[in-house]
Amino acid sequence: MRTIDLLLVALLVILPLVLLYTTWHLFGTQWDMAVRYLNGKTLLDFLTHQAGFRSAFMGEFLNNRLYYFEPYREPLSTPIFAFLLLLFKNPVLPFILLAYFGYLFAVYKLAKEMKMDTLAAFSAFTNVYAVYYLFVPNGGEALAITFVLLGLVCLLRKSPLSGLLFGIAGLAKYPALIAFPMVLLLRERKKILQAVTLEIATVVAWAAFDYAAYGVPFYSYIESAYSAVVLPGTSAISALAAAEVAVYPAIFAAVCLAFFRFRKARIKIKKGHLQMLASFAALALVGYLLILPHNDLATQARYGFLFSTALLLPAALLLSDAFKRSQAIKYGVALAAIVALASTVCAAYYFAASPKASYYNYDNANSIYAHAYGVLSGLGLGGCRFVTNAWVPMVYAGYDAYSPFVIYDSQNATLAPLEGYGARYVGEQKRYPILLFNYTGVSRSFVLDLNGSRVAYQEQDLTVYLPQNINCYRD
């Protein structure tokens, strides 16, 4: 590879890294990423015998707030966070870096297998949309795509290990389960059977945990599907969200159509490779269409990660062919990608100049969450358990917060699988302090019985309610 190509590839690798670090440093750990951290911490405490099985994995339901574990989260990130916690005090940034370099490795391996130009591959796969939505919200998408791409590499090599990799991808993000049928492209009955066996093995292992912990083999999958349904008050419609849902996939789709239109005339590609591309695109589209009705615009963009990736593959091949034919196109596209990434980094710093950017970053000591706990302490309720619509950041920051979706009863706490949010609202809101944040996350409308409580403190970003028969409960 020429020196200029190496330099451009380096920039296409480094700039997304700068963007990820900038976003994390300025805006803090995202809600879902914090949940994955807390799940990892719970697992580590269980493995080091600091918590029993039920206390750790059913703590939310057994009124033990020392641990927080969300059973419907995909499991792969949990052991990764547990391992990183052995090495780092806060492993969020190391987790992002690990996922990013794993993703780059998978892109590189697939590019080599399909004989793509490396610069073309990174120009396509390190675009702003892919980098942000794969890594920033929770990193599960990045892990899933990494193993899907490595599974495609094995599939093209006719290896049944593709089944294992697709199975692991499904443990990283449940929508990746849509890739399971692709092992049929192995064609040989023995290899297909081996691949399917490996896929099933990964699912069975997680189902066994669900059964041991919650009494329902596929509890996590069912709860995840239920939690994805749009509930009243959660719709977030904006021009930006609509653009993210429609514009990026439309651009990728246009390039994808161009690839299939000009393939015979301009691009030489193996029949097996073409079948893989078409199958992946079709399955990813089906998965995207299944997901769209069950999420609002604010989350649909990131849940389209499989579809976007499926369309990026032919886009990368089309770019690769163009790069081979024209140096001007090659360097023009690479420079355009670099400018887009650099501009996004600058924009992140610009918007972060607002005081709100750090105020809602709960990695900062002066965040709204630390301020809220200070207000609670000022009311003489410091150290008390409390209900809040922002329980994840509060627990992540070390406070004894409760989800409003769960019934807490110190005498008769039980898990009620599959009953839904309506059956698990907190009956004890009448006796716990309530903190409500005017901040995206969970709508304040989910917190019940506010009419019977008095407002003890109120400002633009925070309201504290005290129920009439309030008590201070501590662990």
When comparing pLDDT for 408 and 118, which is higher?
Answer: 118
Report the pLDDT value the prediction gives residue 308, as an integer from 0 to 100.
85
Instruction: Tell me: pLDDT of 296 over 70.
Output: no
Buried b (16+ CB within 10 A) or exposed e, 15-52: bbbebbebbbebbbbbbbbbbbbbbbbbbbbbeeeebe
Distance CA 34, CA 68 (A): 11
pLDDT score of 365: 80
CA distance 136 to 153: 26
Residue 406 near residue 61 (C-beta atoms within 8 A): yes
Angle between the 239-266 and 271-291 helix axes, to the nearest 10 degrees?
A: 160
Write down how long the chain is: 475
Q: What is the average pLDDT value for the chain, to the nearest integer?
A: 81
* pLDDT over 70, % of the chain: 80
- pLDDT tens-digit series, residues 254-288: 776 776 666 655 667 788 888 899 899 889 888 88
Predicted pLDDT at 231: 41
HEC string of 68-91? Answer: CCCCCCCCCHHHHHHHHHCCCCCC
Q: Reduce the DSSP state of residue 403 to 3 states and report it.
A: coil
Q: Which two tokens stand for residue 449?
A: 């019985």
Tokens of 221: 């999958």
DSSP state of 65: T
Q: 161-173: per-residue pLDDT in tens?
A: 999 999 999 999 9
Q: What is the DSSP string of 269-288?
A: --HHHHHHHHHHHHHHHHHH
Predicted confidence (pLDDT) at residue 242 exceeds the cutoff of 60: no
Q: 279 near 272, Cβ under 8 Å?
A: no
| Spatial separation of the C-alpha atoms in residues 185 and 153, rounded to whole Å | 12
With both helix axes pointing from N to C terminus, report the angle between 128-135 and 92-113 in degrees, rounded to the nearest 10. 130
Quick one: average pLDDT of 25-45?
89
> Tokens 């989350």 correspond to what residue?
299
Residue 440 has pLDDT above 70, yes or no: no
- Model-level pTM? 0.87
In this prediction, residue 331 carries a pLDDT of 93
What band does 114 get if pLDDT is binned at 50, 70 and 90?
Answer: very high
Domain definitions of the chain by residue range: 3-351, 368-467
- Note the pLDDT tens digit of each residue in 199-223: 999 988 888 888 877 777 777 777 6
